Amino acid sequence: MVEEMRYGYARVSSEEQSLARQRSALGAAECDQIIEEVQSGVKARHRLDQLLVGLKAADELVVTELDRLGRSTGEAILLMDDLIRRGVVLRVLTLPSLDITTNDGRLIADILASLAAHERRRTRDRQRHGIAVAKAAGRHLGRPPKMNGQQITEARSRLAGDEPVRVVARAYGVSDKTLRATLARQAG
């Protein structure tokens, strides 16, 4: 007889984020095995995909929040449909009364997944707006520049004097490619 397993799945989007909260909650839920992944939901989630393939009827998949399962509302709904069809139990710790095997439970899960997707879109819109405002104000976004204005002016003069790009780049501690890109950006 094959024993049912309780699998926990924890995911964060980047190395700067911590799995500790999810790990603790899944441990308290007495998962037999916890699968962890550091990967943006937008990219492929190989560990989740492997876990899903191995789940059998009566196994239980435990996540802390519904949005750990899908990149979009549609994906989360398709995943829930697949789990129901295969007889796998889904438990979402932040929604203890959610039972996706019932019509009412599915409706609630669908609504929650839609709200999560809507909030992600709103966050992206706010981020785009903030970037546009910062650019309009002339603030530099991204990594700090490798060269300051004086260094760029000096590098231009040295290159105009037929000094090789490689020599000039080394003098400022940058690669040839970075020097060319910096000069091109400042010319525009």
Active site residues: 13
Place of tokens 């500790």: 20
Which residues have CB under 8 Å from 143's CB, separation 6+? none
Q: Closest by alpha carbon to 19, among 38, 39, 45?
A: 38
Give the count of beta carbons closer than 10 Å to the beta carbon of residue 113: 22
Neighbours of 164 (CB within 10 A): 11
Percent of the chain that is helix, strand, coil (3-state, to 5): 55, 10, 35
> What's the one-letter identity of residue 31?
C
